[in-house]
Amino acid sequence: MWRFFSKKQATDSELEEELQAHLEIETKQLMDRGLPRAQAEMEARRLFGEQYGSRALVMEATRETGGHRAFARLWQDIRYAARVLRRAPAFTTAAVLSLALGIGATTAVFSIADTIFLRPLPYADAGRLVWVGIRYGDLEFLPSPDYVTWRRNNRVFQDLAATQASLSTSMLLGGSDPGEVHAGRVSANFLDTFAVAPALGRTFTPQEELPHGPKAVLLTDQFWRDRFHGRRDALGSVIPLDGLPYAVIGVLPRSFIYPADVKIDLLTTLPVSPTASHRDRSMSTWAVFGRLKRGVTMAQARADVDMLFAASKRDDPKMFRADNSVVLQHLREHRAGNVRTLLLILMGAAGCLLAIACANVANLLLARWSARARELAVRAAVGAGRGRLARQLFTEIALLIATGAAAGMLLVAAALRGFVRYAAGEFPRSSEVSTDFRVFGIALLVSLATALIFGGLPALRAGRVDLQSVLRQAGRGGAAGGHRVMRRALVAMEVALSVILLSGAALLFETLWHMQNDHLGFRPEQSLTVRVRAAGLQGSVSDALTDGILADMRRIPGTLAAAITQCTPLSRGAFWITFSRADRPLPEPFHRGDGIGVCGAGPEYLKAAGTRLVAGRFFTDGDPPGTLAVINEAAARAYLPGESAIGKQILGGRAGPWKTVVGVVADTKNQGLNQPASPEALVNDTRTANAATVLIIVRTIAGQGAFARALHDELRAGHPGSFARIETLDEEMGELTASPRFNTVLIATFAAVAFLMAVVGVYGVLAFSVAQRSQEIGIRMALGATPGTVLALVMREGAVLMAAGALAGVGAALVLTRYLAALLYGVAADDPVTYAAVVAGLALAALAASFLPARRAALMDPVVALRHE
């Protein structure tokens, strides 16, 4: 700006000098002809004036030719537009806000969804990466024997890598400062499959995946920096994990991303036994990723995998049922498929919001041009060209859109920053989230198109309209008449769209409420879960050690109960086996129906978890371990219907000695908050053989923090090298509701914004209509209409808009919310109460919005109203 002015100054002074030179030359010529200097100077000035006009005029005219002229005119237009917009603050604020919210919300949501779910994973030649598995009901995985044979016998994969299906394992990192680390367990060829080379060191060797092979880890870049301060000599060092030494063989590149959406600190190997067979006593379930050989098509790959699957079935038909099928998908497709519903819903919601925002802007512009028809006509009458007028109006629209887009960008930036902070731990790629300019561009184009259609066409027409008729009609609603129907339709559409969004949000809210408030079957308050990991927690020493830890906990003031257990009220035990009872024949091996969760639990479990005993008794310290069972009501209903459960001998045969049922406990949400309880048996056997973690449930009146500090001190004194993770049951429930909460917050935000915009839309239309009809209302009142009838007249107009919109909205919502059904719990997608509440709420808000203009109309003084023209 300063340079612009200084340049202008420079050209001004140059021009001054140029004109001065002109005068001097003239003077000299005159003096050469014999005139004295003073006279010559005067004559020169006179001649200049006569021949070229005044110096000021010349200066001005010359300046005008400057290259700045076009720019200056544009600048003038922009300044004028800004002034006009500033003078209508209500209109400008509403329009800019609508645009900002419409563009901003759409862009922010898509930027997040795109990064987390859709952006291709950063692997070389990712098009050849596929997901391979067998579908078991809702689950997809590959049993370890099939992985081993398929990896050996396939003809289409360059590499076939396995990772644990449970995504990550937490392990205890020993040393002076014990801590918990998240390990991803993978087959040795994992990095080759994903074409990732370690930044330092080497990848796993085939020996390292053998069940008793050398133990090795690859560190993630982040973990290497945090724990080893990025030192190169970390390579070759040995770290204790779960009490065993692991050699650090390499560091992963900073860009590495684990293909499952979980946070990991390091990679280690899965035990892949080359002789794994379906006849082994146990097997693992793995998630399998393949890299196709160059030139192999999906069809060829599918044919090959089908053959492998057929061979697996021939090998052991009992392993598979008719509805098991093979899955082969591009990795990208597999990832997107997991969130398809959520994405569709978000897309729909964002689309609704953008449509509402555009309708609002369109409405505001229509109202504005109608109100300004007179001004435009006058300006045309005093000589403003049609082109000039149109240019100014378009400048106004452009300025509006630009401001809205800029505000939208700010909104996006703020939303994304907030998201990254909020979701840092929950989504593995959240730090990569960045503004998606494609969506921003699309949203911007849609708004621009709307503004041009609804703002531009009337503007063009305004230049063409017959001046006389406009001047005669403006202010009487005549000029607005053409837009009236369109404006009403737009507002009705806004109402309909907000009914859809509000219904969706209300249904999700109800789901969340049900999840958090449905009968849980236990009291989460004051209940803590403590997961202790200690190097010595293996084999025979474990019982003494856990007894010691349990004693430590009981010593901490405030502890009411503490029990070792293999499950919490929110999980269903360490094993999932087939139900059996002593008085019936044993089930077939690998029989898949009639499952029951088995969970070892100590005598104080019931008290610690706050679960209710329905019948019989619970375990006591004196019971011989492994002989008794307590089942939940779901198990009693499913497997012992119409019988008394007490005294029955269950879960024996191949599963070990028979256990006597001594009690029945209330169901807990052991499959997650949005599922009914599944059958579960608690057994009085807490020997934690081969478990690296001891889970203890504690009920304490001391706070979580105080208990954690006390336990930390006890552990450091009595069991150095151990580490305890302490959570409240409430927190564990919070993790289960995190994703529904996220969905609900998003949709609810959309719905709230949509609701506001719809209400503003209704208000805007009615307020404008009252202003336009003031004369008519004045006449009505002069003819004897009471304020009451006028009030009713305006309110009726609002009610009609509202009713039409709500009707269309409920119809559309009934169709659309069916797609939401998968996310709902405890409420049906067509729950009539929800819809009634939404419509009633919106109707109330619309009524309130129409009351203000209606009151203004009712309080109008007919004399003033009639004189208005």
* CB nearer to another protein: pick between 61 and 424: 61
Say how many CA atoms lie within 13 Å of 501 toward its Cβ.
32
Q: Rounded CA gap, 126 and 123, in Å?
A: 5
701 lines the binding site for another protein (CB under 8 A): no
Of 283, 275, 326, nearest to 303 (Cα)?
Answer: 326
Cβ closest to another protein, residue 51 vs residue 275: 51
Least distance to another protein, CB of residue 73, Å: 16
Which ranges in 518-600 belong to alpha helices (H)? 541-555
Judged by CB, which is closer to another protein: 53, or 811? 53
Is 22 a residue that touches another protein (CB under 8 A)? yes
Pick the closer one to another protein by CB: 73 or 135. 73
Instruction: Quote the least distance from Cβ 72 to another protein, whole Å.
Output: 14
Sequence-ordered list of residues with C-beta below 8 angstroms from that of 221, at least 6 positions apart, any chain: 199, 251, 252, 253, 254, 256
How many Å apart are CA 82 and CA 87, to the nearest integer? 9
Could you say which residues in the range 47-66 bind another protein, by CB under 8 A? 51-54, 57-58, 61-62, 64-66
Asked whether 194 and 258 are in contact (CB, 8 A), the reply is no
Q: Shortest approach of another protein to residue 344 CB, angstroms? A: 58
| Cβ distance to another protein smaller for residue 22 or 182 | 22
Residue number, 21 or 124, with CB nearest to another protein: 21
Q: How far is the CB of 483 from another protein (least distance, A)?
A: 44
The binder of another protein chosen from 6, 7, 12, 14 (CB under 8 A): 14
Phi and psi at residue 202, to the nearest 5°: -130, 175
- State which residue, 70 or 382, has the beta carbon closest to another protein: 70
**Closest CB to another protein among residues 67, 622:** 67
Q: Using CB atoms within 10 Å of the CB of residue 418, give its burial: 0 to 12 exposed, 13 to 18 middle, 19+ buried.
A: exposed
Name the minimum Å distance from CB 770 to another protein: 54
Q: At residue 494, what is the residue type?
A: E
The minimum distance between CB 71 and another protein, in angstroms, equals 13
Which one, 57 or 836, has the nearer CB to another protein? Answer: 57
Q: Binding string, 506-535, against another protein, x = CB under 8 A?
A: ------------------------------
Provide, rounded to whole angstroms, the least separation between the CB of residue 352 and another protein: 52
- Report the 10 Å Cβ neighbour count for 385: 10
How far apart are CB 75 and another protein at their closest, in Å?
A: 19
Least separation in angstroms between CB 26 and another protein: 6
Strands 325-330 and 129-136: antiparallel
- b/e burial code for range 40-76 (CB count within 10 A of at least 16 → b): bbebbeeebeeeeeebeebeeeeeeeeeeeeeeeeee
Q: What part of residues 23-52 is at the interface with another protein (CB under 8 A)?
A: 24-28, 51-52
Where do runs of H (alpha helix) occur along 53-121? 55-64, 68-87, 89-113
Q: Nearest 5°: phi and psi at 422? A: -65, -40
The owner of tokens 């969905």 is 743
Distance CA 204, CA 200 (A): 13
How deeply is 516 buried, as exposed, middle or buried, from its count of CB atoms within 10 A (0-12, 13-18, 19+)?
Answer: middle
For the bound state, the minimum distance from the C-beta of residue 391 to another protein, rounded and expressed in Å, comes to 23
CB 334 within 8 A of CB 435: no
Q: Which is nearer to another protein, 70 or 322 (CB)?
A: 70
Least distance to another protein from the beta carbon of 34, Å? 16
Q: Which residue has the tokens 């449970």?
A: 166
Q: Minimum distance between the CB of residue 31 and another protein, rounded to whole angstroms?
A: 9
For the record, the structure tokens of 338 come out as: 């997991």
Residue 19 or 35 with smaller CB distance to another protein: 19
Task: Tell me which of 4, 7, 10, 21 binds another protein, using CB under 8 A.
Answer: 21
* Least distance (Å) between residue 56 CB and another protein: 9
Closest CA to 106 of 454, 415, 402: 415
Q: How far is the CB of 57 from another protein (least distance, A)?
A: 4
Give min distance, CB of 49 to another protein, in A.
Answer: 9
Please report how close the Cβ of residue 197 comes to another protein at its closest, in angstroms. Answer: 58
CA dist 644 → 599, 636, 666 (Å): 21, 8, 15
Complex with another protein: residue 17 or 466, whichever CB lies closer: 17
Compute CA 405 distance to the chain's CA centroid, rounded to the nearest angstrom: 22
**Choice from 12, 18, 306, 547 touching another protein (CB under 8 A):** 18
For another protein, the closer of residues 24 and 125 by Cβ is 24
What's the min distance (Å) between Cβ of 21 and another protein?
4
812 vs 441, 498, 819, CA distance in Å? 28, 11, 12
Nearer to another protein, 19 or 779 (CB): 19
Instruction: Assess contact for 790 and 477: CB atoms under 8 A.
Output: no
> Among residue numbers 342 through 361, which ones bind another protein (CB under 8 A)?
none
Cα→Cα distances 376→82, 457, 470, 487, Å: 17, 14, 9, 21
- Kindly report the number of other CB atoms within 10 A of residue 176's CB atom: 6
Segment lying near another protein (by CB under 8 A), choices 17-25, 153-161, 198-206, 809-817? 17-25
Rounded Cα gap, residues 630 and 837, in angstroms: 44
Closer to another protein by CB, 19 or 771: give it. 19
Helix (H) or strand (E) holding 775: helix 774-782
How many residues form the binding site for another protein (CB under 8 A)? 25
Decide: is 166 part of the binding site for another protein (CB under 8 A).
no
Site for another protein in 426-485 (CB under 8 A): none
Segment contacting another protein by CB under 8 A, of 19-27, 76-84, 651-659, 737-745: 19-27
End-to-end CA, the chain: 46
- Nearest in space to 850 (alpha carbons), one of 779, 802, 778, 788: 802
In the complex, the smallest distance separating the C-beta of residue 42 from another protein, rounded to whole angstroms, is: 16
Alpha helices in 88-220 (DSSP H): 89-113, 144-153, 190-193
Fill in the per-residue mask, 62 to 101: x = in contact with another protein (CB under 8 A), - = not in contact.
x-xxxx----------------------------------
CA separation for the pair 41, 57 (Å, rounded): 20
Whether 397 and 364 have beta carbons less than 8 Å apart is answered as no
Which residues form the interface with another protein (CB under 8 A)?
14-15, 17-22, 24-28, 51-54, 57-58, 61-62, 64-67
